[in-house]
Structure 1
Amino acid sequence: MTTPRPVTLITGASGGIGSALARLLAPTHDLILTGRGGAALTRLCADLGAQPLPLDLTHPETFAGVVGGLGRVTNLVHGAGVVDLGAVAGQDHMVWTHTLAVNTVAPAELTRLLLPRVRAEQGTVVFVNSGAGLRANAGWGSYAASKFALKALADALREEEAAHGVRVTSVYPGRTATPMQQKVRAQEGAAYTPEAFVQPETVAATIAFALNAPRDATLPDLSVRPGPQGNP
């Protein structure tokens, strides 16, 4: 009997790490992709034969109606995220609410809704975190708080779902050559030099390794840092 291909849902697939991961997995996984929408996501889904999924991550209360009609889901990769740098004294509640909604609440709600499907497949949930999820520096308060909370979500989920055969991995990339990093460098008033950072394909390969690892292994936390030539 032929083993069915895993079905992997990736958020943040319009560009950066999510897009690189989708292209890497396409030969062996069936893909469900969500992102900011628009031409980039449409082209990617057409190129890869992937199913687009329209999700507004700022409104997790709308997810149930969107994902209710999905079939199998083996793996769930949370790759979407937003960042706005600023001191605690300078960021009002709207920045914090938006950042936490997209980076923490949306992954929690999407995971909750899809867990029965992932359990049925004994699949894997991957949270793309950040070095800021392990250490909070000045100017990174709202983003780091959302990523610290994402780590807590992953750690709790890992213990809760072990009995169901669901694996949970957090990936902590260092500075990665993505559009988000380009925005960060602009906010920092610094030059964006992609060659100085981890490439999105490298982080994608790390995520793919976690998804495809033999069942006798669980990879709870994986850090991906720039190599010796990097100068973040």
Structure 2
Amino acid sequence: MTEKIAIVTGATGGMGREIVADLTRTHHVYALGRSDTALAELGALKSVTPVSTDLVVDLLDSAGTSCAVERLVDLSRIDVLVHAAAVASRFSVETAGVSDWRQMMDLNVHVPAELTRRLLPALRAGDGTVIFINSGAGRGAYPDNVVYAATKHALRAVADGLRKGEAGAGVRVATVAPGPTDTPMLQGLQGQAGQEYRPEHYIEPVEVARAVRMVVDAGPSTQITEVAVRPRVELSDR
């Protein structure tokens, strides 16, 4: 197979859809998500194979059983793997219980680490690029977003360790960290906080897809390891 292959998790989310749409220009994209309706819409795009999967169940809870992800493990080579799947809720140390920590850690950290582990042979064969969609929360935290921020700090460590460990195998690794982006996730977080949602103040998801494209198109002698995508005017300055 000579066609370039990309895999995108969280493909049915606000950022994921734009990332998939952009990558189809140059890759055949396996779009992973849980919403069958949204996956059907993506499947109508040229060069998209929708994969319906609950990644936590399929990767972390179904050891030794057949699942949708197995079709990806059988790929001979992978050129791009984008980890865009994530969940976020507002919690402080006081309000978060064990199940809250586990839910966010499982999808935001354990799933991308485990999926990458399983796909490493194909990524090495394709001199592939692994892109972790992080967040501004990966560099700091507020009292009411401690759990989400902790997962993004951990995801940055996964990316850094993978990049150094796989450099000799030809695999490139990048972190793309958007600030507040106009997505259903952000809308939910703002609603939890009782804050007004102002889409015009936030990054358009297509801009995150453009940042991913910049990483993917980097020349063969380099890798772009960190990309911060910020709104033109920071929310704190408005």
TM tier relative to shorter chain: over 0.9
1:115 aligns with 2:116: no
1:138 aligns with 2:147: no
Farther-moved stretch of structure 1 (127-136 vs 49-58): 49-58
Residues paired across the two proteins, number? 230
TM-score using structure 2 length? 0.91
Instruction: Give SS of 1:41's match.
Output: helix
In 1, are the aligned partners of 2:91 and 2:146 still within 8 Å (CA)?
A: yes
Alignment of 1:171-182 (within 5 A): 171-182=176-187
In 1, are the aligned partners of 2:130 and 2:174 still within 8 Å (CA)?
A: yes
In 2, are the aligned partners of 1:23 and 1:48 still within 8 Å (CA)?
A: no
Q: Return the alpha-carbon distance in structure 2 between the equivalents of residues 220 and 23 of structure 1.
A: 23
Alignment of 1:33-52 (within 5 A): 33-52=31-50
Alignment of 1:1-232 (within 5 A): 4-59=2-57, 60-61=59-60, 62=62, 65=66, 66-70=68-72, 71=75, 72-228=77-233
In 2, are the aligned partners of 1:63 and 1:110 still within 8 Å (CA)?
A: no
- 2:121 maps to a residue whose letter is P
How far is 1:45 from its partner? 1.5
Instruction: Give SS of 2:150's match.
Output: helix
Instruction: Give SS of 1:89's match.
Output: coil
Q: Return the alpha-carbon distance in structure 2 between the equivalents of residues 119 and 113 of structure 1.
A: 11
Instruction: Give SS of 1:186's match.
Output: helix
Give RMSD over aligned pairs: 1.7
In 1, are the aligned partners of 2:27 and 2:47 still within 8 Å (CA)?
A: no
How far is 1:68 from its partner? 2.9
Q: Return the alpha-carbon distance in structure 1 between the equivalents of residues 204 and 3 of structure 2.
A: 27
* Structure 2 unmatched ranges of 5 or more: none
Deviations, residues 124-157 of structure 1 (Å, cap 9, x unaligned):
0000000111101111111011111100000000
Q: Return the alpha-carbon distance in structure 2 between the equivalents of residues 201 and 127 of structure 1.
A: 16
Instruction: Give SS of 2:8's match.
Output: strand
How far is 1:55 from its partner? 2.3
TM-score using structure 1 length? 0.94
Instruction: Give SS of 2:187's match.
Output: helix
Deviations, residues 177-226 of structure 1 (Å, cap 9, x unaligned):
01111111101111111111011000110011101111112111110000
